[in-house]
Amino acid sequence: MTVAGLAASFGSGAMTNSLDEIEFADVILAIGTNTTENHPIAGSKVKRAVRQLGAKLIVIDPRDIALTRYAELWLRPKPGTNVAVINGIMNGIVSEGLHNREYIEKRTEGFAALEEVLKKYTPEHVERISGVPADDIRKAARLYASGKKSSILYCMGVTQHSTGTDGVKSVANLSMLCGFVGIESGGVNPLRGQSNVQGACDMGALPATFPSYQQVANDEMRARFEKAWGVSLSGKPGLTVVEIMNAAHEGRIKGVYVMGENLMLSDPDLHHVEESLKKLELLVVQDLFLSDTAKLAHVVLPAANFAEKDGTFTNTERRVQRVRKAVEPPGEAKPDWLIVSELSARMGYGMKYGSPREIMDEIARVTPSYAGINYRRIERRGLQWPCLNAEHPGTKFLHRDRFTRGLGLFAAIEYKPSAELPDGDYPFYLTTGRVLYHYHTGTMTRLSRGPMERYPESLVEINPEDAWNLKLEDGEFVMVTSRRGSVKAKAWVTNRSPKGTVFMNFHFPEAAANLLTNPALDPIGKIPEYKVCAVKVEKAAADILERTEAPAKVQAAK
Amino acid sequence: MNKISLTINGKKIEAVPGQTVLEVARENGIDIPTLCYYPGTKLVGACRVCVVEIEGQRCLAASCAMPVSPGMVVRTDTPRVVEAQKMVVELLWASGDHNCLVCEANGNCELQDLVYRFKIEKPRFPIEPPGYPVERSNTMIQRDLNKCILCGRCIRVCNEIQVNEVLDFSERGSRMKVGPAFDADYIDSNCVFCGACVDACPTGAIVNRQSRFEGRPWELKKVRTTCGYCGVGCQMDLNLHEGRIVKVTGSRDHGTPNYGSLCVKGRFGMDFIHHPSRLKKPLIREGGELREASWDEAYSYIADRMSAIKAKHGPDSLAGLSSARCTNEENYLFQKFIRAAVGTNNVDHCARL
Ligand code: SF4
Ligand code: SF4
Ligand code: SF4
C-alpha cells in the first residue's frame, strides 16, 4: 500500500505535494488513476493544467478513461504490468542520460542496484510484457524527464495488485530519478479514495503503528503511549483486515468489532468473508444502515454520519479540515466517538471526553506531526501536516531539502506477473474500480436520487470486439465467472475497456464484483489484488423485468 | 512590484499594473455592479452592467475588462453611467420571464438586486420572454431559459473551471441560447452533474431541482463542512431548513482545495443522511433475529462477551476494524480502545489504497 511503499522510499507515506500544485506542473504523469471520476475536483485541476497552462499529460491506464482525451501520450498496458512499464520508462531515461545525476548523488541511495535491474527492461522487452509500443515508452521517458516540474499522480490502479507496494516504490524511483521529489508541483501523489483514509492511517488505525506511524514493536515508542494512556500495551504487531478474516475463518479470532465498514461488499472473495463472519462468537457492527455485514452481527449500533457530528478529516494532501455538525442524528443514533468512549468505560477503561475538540487536543499531544493542530487554528482553513507546533504553518510539500528518512531510497524492483492471469478456462482479465456516480460500497450513493438516476445499476464494461465475439449487444446481460464465484450484470459495450479486459465496479450488492476478485495479497501492504483476476464472460438470459434503458444514459458519463 | 496610481471617484488609489478597474475599485470599497463577471474565468465584458466613465474616452468602458493605467481618472457614479446601467438592467428584465413569485432564486438573484438598486419600477420596454419550455428532464438540475440573461457564467464555469466542456452558446441573435451541444437536455448530454453552473448562475435560470420549494434563501442556514466522500476533502455548505439538509452548495470564499467547486457526489449524494432506512436504535440478536434494545443493554452485552472472550482466549482473539469514513478523533479513539482497553494490536481499517 501507499503508506508502506512511500514510507520505505521517502520515510513518509503520504502525498508529497498539494492538490493546488498539480495545476502548475509542466508534466503530469497519471498512472492507475481515473481522476475525473474518482477525484473529480483533482481531475479538474489536471484538466486545467492541460487546457489553460499547457501542461503535458501522460496517462498510463489499460482503460480509456476520460483523462486520455487530455493526454499528450497514452500508454495502455495490460492490467498488472505497471512495474514493467515504469522500469521501461526509467530504462529509457537512463539510457538517454536524462536522469538527474546530481540529485541522485546528493539526495538518494541505492541507485546502483536499480540501474543494474533496469538494464534488462529495455523498451522492447517491456513491450513484450505490457503490450505498450517501445516507442511510446521512449516518448514517455523523454517527456517526463523534460519537465522542470513533473508530477506523478496515482491511485488504486497502482496499489491494488499483489505487487502493489512494488508499484508504489517504482513510481517513487521514477520521480527521484529525475529529481522531482522535494520541489513545488513535482512529487509522487497518491490520491486517496475515502474522505479520511489518510487520517485513519495517521491516527494509527493500522496493526503495526500508533498515531503518526510510531511502531508498536518499538519499546521506546510504546513506552510513550503506555505513559500517555496509563496502561501497558502489547508490542506484537496485529493482523490486517484480510488476515483478520482468515484468522476468523480458522477460529483464531473469536470476536470482531466493526466501526462503519461494510466488509460484505468491500472485501475480496466475499464467500470467504461471509463464512468467516458467521464463525465469530461476537460480531459488533456500528453503522448508519443495516448493511450486509450488520445483518450478520450479534449487536448492531446506530451511528451518526459526518453531517451529524463534529470532528476532522485529513484529506489526501495531508490537510486536516473541520467536519461540522449540521443536523441531529435520527432516533437514538450517536456519534462513533461517543459510542466508543461509553463502551470503553463499561470495559473498565475510562475514556472520557466532553467533545471531539478535546480528543484532538490529546491527539496533538501524542502525534508529533499533528502537534500544532487544534480547532481554533483550523476554523477557517485546514492545516497540512507535519505541523510541529502552535506556530508552525503546516507543510505544503514534503522532503524539500532532506527526505523524512534522510536520503531517498531507490528500490531495485523486478516485474512480477499478477497472481492470477487469464488462461483457457478464464480468458478475460477482470479489473475493478469505482464510477463517478457512486462511492465505495454504495451504501450512501445508492440512496441518493441523483446518482441513481444517472447510474442505476451495475454495468460490466466490455470491448465491442469481445462483445461481437460473444454475440452480445449493449444492455444485454452477461454472466461473469471467476474461480471464486459468478455475477450477473448488464453489459455496457464500450471502447473504454481494451479487448480482453472487462471492468466492473463494486458499488452494487446485486452484482458484487468482489464475489469474483482474487484475495491474493501484496506481501507488504496486504492489499488484495482487486485490479487483476481471470474470468470468463458469457451471455446470460435477461430477466425481462430487469431490463431498463440505463446504458444509453450512462454512456454520457465519459 | 511597481505600483501605479489612478483616481476613482475623486479618490487617489494605488494599483498593481495588470489589475482591472473593477478589481481595484472593489479592493477599495467602491462598489461597481456586475453580472457576467466571474473571477477565475475569462473576462468577457458582455453584460455591460459594470460600465464606468474614463476621462478622455468618449465611450463608457466595461470596468471588468479595462486594465488600469497610470494617471487614469475613473468615475463610477455619474448620471451617464447610472443611466447606461439602468438601461442594461431594464433590457434584461424585459427580455425574460422574471416572475419572482414562483422563482426559486427569489432573494438570491443578482438581477433582482440590480432592479432594486436602480429603483426600477417597471422596464420601459415591453416584456417579451422567449417562451422556452422549462427543462425538468432530470431530478437534479432544472433549467428555465426564460430567466437566462446570457451572461455566459455557466458556460465559463463548466469549461474553464470544471473543464467538463459541456455547455456553450448555440444559435445567434435573439435566439441565442446556452446549453449542452445540439440543444440537448442535461440528462442526454455528457453533463456530469457537478452543479457548478447552478452555483454560478446569477438568476433563477439554472436551479437545484431537489431543493425547489424546500426553503427560501433567507430561511436557509448554512453549515460549512468537509465532504464525506473522496479524499479531495472539498469544503462545502450544507444548507439547512427546519433541521434538514435541503441542498449542498459550494462557496468560493472557503478557498482551497476546491474553491467552491463540487462533484455530483458532494452536491447530489447526500440523500442518505435523512434516509428512512437509517438505524435508529441498537439491535441485539436473539433467537436468530435482531431485535431492538437499549444502549445500556447493548453496551452490557458487548462488554460482557468481549471480556469473556478475552479471558478465555486472550486479547489477540479479538479484533477491531475502523473506518476511513470516520473522523480522526474517532479513529484515534477506536485504536486506543482496541489497544488500551481490549489489549491487542489487531486493529485496521478498510482502506483500499
Ligand atoms: S452540471 Fe457541471 S458538467 Fe453539467 S453543465 Fe453544469 S457545470 Fe457543466
Ligand atoms: S443560464 Fe444563468 S449563468 Fe447561464 S448564461 Fe443564462 S443567466 Fe448566465
Ligand atoms: S465533492 Fe466530489 S471531489 Fe469533492 S470531496 Fe466530495 S466526492 Fe470528492
- The residues that bridge with B208 in the sheet, in sequence order, are B141
Closest of B342, B343, B229, B339 to residue A205, by C-alpha: B339
pLDDT cut 90: percent of chain A above it:
69
Instruction: Classify each residue of B339-353 as buried b or exposed e, where b means 16 or more C-beta atoms within 10 Å of its C-beta.
Output: bbbbbbbbbbbbbbb
**Structural domain contains residue B215:** yes
Give A323-372 pLDDT, tens digit per residue.
999 999 999 999 999 999 999 999 999 898 999 999 999 999 999 999 99
Provide the pLDDT confidence category of residue A554 given band limits of 50, 70 and 90: very low
Is residue B111 in contact with ligand 2, taking CB distance under 6 Å?
no
Residues B188 and B231 in one domain: yes
**Structural domain contains residue B253:** yes
Cα A19 to Cα A24, A29, A67, A167, distances in angstroms: 10, 14, 17, 22
pLDDT attached to residue A437: 80
Q: Which residue has the higher pLDDT, B88 or A530?
A: B88
pLDDT attached to residue A242: 85
Residues B70 and B169 in one domain: no
Closest of A259, A258, A253, A300 to residue A279, by C-alpha: A253
Residue A270, pLDDT > 80, answer: no
Residues B248 and B346 in one domain: no
Q: Could B309 and A351 be called an inter-chain contact, meaning their C-beta atoms sit closer than 8 Å?
A: no
pLDDT attached to residue A530: 84
Per-residue pLDDT, averaged over A160-164, amounts to 82
pLDDT attached to residue A266: 67
pLDDT attached to residue A498: 93
Provide the pLDDT confidence category of residue A157 given band limits of 50, 70 and 90: confident
Q: Where are the alpha helices (DSSP H) in A380-532?
A: 449-454, 464-469
pLDDT attached to residue A446: 84
**Structural domain contains residue B95:** no
DSSP secondary structure code for residue B206 in this structure:
E
CATH number at residue B192: 3.30.70.20
- Nearest residue in B to A250, CA atom: B317
Closest ligand relative to B153 C-alpha? 2
Q: CB–CB of B164/B264 below 8 Å?
A: no
**Rounded-to-integer distance, Cα A13 and Cα A314, Å:** 14
Residues B236 and B302 in one domain: no
**Rounded-to-integer distance, Cα A213 and Cα A369, Å:** 10
Residues 280-309 of B with CB under 8 A from A: 280-285, 290, 295, 298-303, 305-307, 309
**Structural domain contains residue B101:** no
Residues B249 and B331 in one domain: no
**Final residue belonging to a domain, choices B17, B51, B77:** B77
pLDDT attached to residue B183: 85
Is residue B151 in contact with ligand 2, taking CB distance under 6 Å?
yes
Residue with cell string 482591472: B20
pLDDT attached to residue A542: 63
Is residue B229 in contact with ligand 3, taking CB distance under 6 Å?
yes
**Structural domain contains residue B267:** yes
**Structural domain contains residue B233:** yes
pLDDT attached to residue A557: 38
Going by CA atoms, what residue is nearest to atom 2 of ligand 1?
Answer: B194
Residues B44 and B137 in one domain: no
Per-residue pLDDT, averaged over A93-99, amounts to 94
Residue A543, pLDDT > 70, answer: no
**Rounded-to-integer distance, Cα A502 and Cα A62, Å:** 10
**Final residue belonging to a domain, choices B49, B77, B105:** B77
**Structural domain contains residue B210:** yes
Domain boundaries, position B71:
4-77
Chain B nearest C-alpha distance from A315 (Å): 5
Contacts of B162 (CB under 8 A, 6+ apart): A44, B194, B196, B261
Give B61-86 pLDDT, tens digit per residue.
999 999 999 999 999 999 999 999 99
Residue A553, pLDDT > 50, answer: no
pLDDT attached to residue A514: 81
Give B30-48 pLDDT, tens digit per residue.
999 999 999 999 998 889 9
**Rounded-to-integer distance, Cα A85 and Cα A138, Å:** 11
- Nearest residue in B to A445, CA atom: B269
Pairing of strands A486-493, A501-505: unpaired
The number of distinct structural domains making up chain B is: 4
Residue type present at position A150: S
Residue A550, pLDDT > 70, answer: no
Provide the pLDDT confidence category of residue A549 given band limits of 50, 70 and 90: very low
Residue with cell string 480458522: A250
Half-sphere exposure of B72 (CA within 13 A, CB side): 27
Q: CB–CB of B180/B167 below 8 Å?
A: yes
Residue A209, pLDDT > 80, answer: yes
Is residue A427 in contact with ligand 3, taking CB distance under 6 Å?
no
Residues B239 and B304 in one domain: no
**Rounded-to-integer distance, Cα A480 and Cα A328, Å:** 43
Provide the pLDDT confidence category of residue B330 given band limits of 50, 70 and 90: very high
Residues B42 and B16 in one domain: yes
Give B137-175 pLDDT, tens digit per residue.
999 999 999 999 999 999 999 999 999 999 999 877 777
pLDDT attached to residue B1: 66
**Rounded-to-integer distance, Cα B232 and Cα B248, Å:** 16
pLDDT cut 70: percent of chain B above it:
99
**Final residue belonging to a domain, choices B274, B299, B327:** B274
Residues B247 and B191 in one domain: yes
pLDDT attached to residue A363: 96
Q: Which of A40, A204, A288 is facing B194, going by the closest CB pair? A: A40
Residues B247 and B260 in one domain: yes
pLDDT attached to residue B352: 47
End-to-end CA, chain B:
45
Per-residue pLDDT, averaged over A39-51, amounts to 95
What value of ipTM does the predicted structure carry? 0.92
**Structural domain contains residue B18:** yes
pLDDT attached to residue A548: 38
Residues B211 and B346 in one domain: no
pLDDT attached to residue A332: 96
Q: CB–CB of A420/A39 below 8 Å?
A: no
pLDDT attached to residue B350: 75
Half-sphere exposure of A40 (CA within 13 A, CB side): 31
Instruction: Classify each residue of B21-54 as buried b or exposed e, where b means 16 or more C-beta atoms within 10 Å of its C-beta.
Output: bbbbbeeeebebbbbbbbeebebbbbbbbbbbbb
**Rounded-to-integer distance, Cα A394 and Cα A371, Å:** 10
The domains located in chain A, with CATH, are: 3-191 (3.40.228.10), 197-384 (3.40.50.740), 428-557 (2.40.40.20)
Contacts of A60 (CB under 8 A, 6+ apart): A29, A30, A31, A32, A74, A75, A77, A82, A85, A140
Give A391-418 pLDDT, tens digit per residue.
999 999 999 988 888 888 999 999 988 8
pLDDT attached to residue A174: 95
- Residue A389 grid coordinates: 507546533
CA of B267 to the centre of ligand 3 (A): 8
Cα B82 to Cα B6, B21, B89, B125, distances in angstroms: 21, 17, 11, 18
Average predicted confidence (pLDDT) for chain A: 89
Provide the pLDDT confidence category of residue A239 given band limits of 50, 70 and 90: very high
Give B281's contacts in chain A (Cβ within 8 Å).
302, 331-332
Q: Identify from B139, B253, B333, B338 which residue to disrupt to test chain A contact, counting A C-beta atoms within 10 A and taking the largest count.
A: B333
Give B255's contacts in chain A (Cβ within 8 Å).
381
Give A131-153 pLDDT, tens digit per residue.
999 999 999 999 999 999 999 99
CA angle (A389 as vertex; A383, A390 as ends), nearest 5? 75
pLDDT attached to residue A268: 67
According to the 3-state scheme, what is the secondary structure of B67-112? ECCCCCEEECCCHHHHHHHHHHHHHHHHCCCCCHHHCCCCCCCHHH
pLDDT attached to residue A551: 37
Provide the pLDDT confidence category of residue A556 given band limits of 50, 70 and 90: very low
Closest of B333, B347, B328, B298 to residue A350, by C-alpha: B333
Residues B254 and B195 in one domain: yes
According to the 3-state scheme, what is the secondary structure of A350-399? CCCCCCHHHHHHHHHHHCHHHCCCCCCCCCCCCEECCCCCCCCCCCCCCC
CA of A40 to the centre of ligand 3 (A): 7
| Cα pseudo-dihedral B10, B15, B21, B27, rounded to 10 | -80
**Rounded-to-integer distance, Cα A496 and Cα A65, Å:** 6
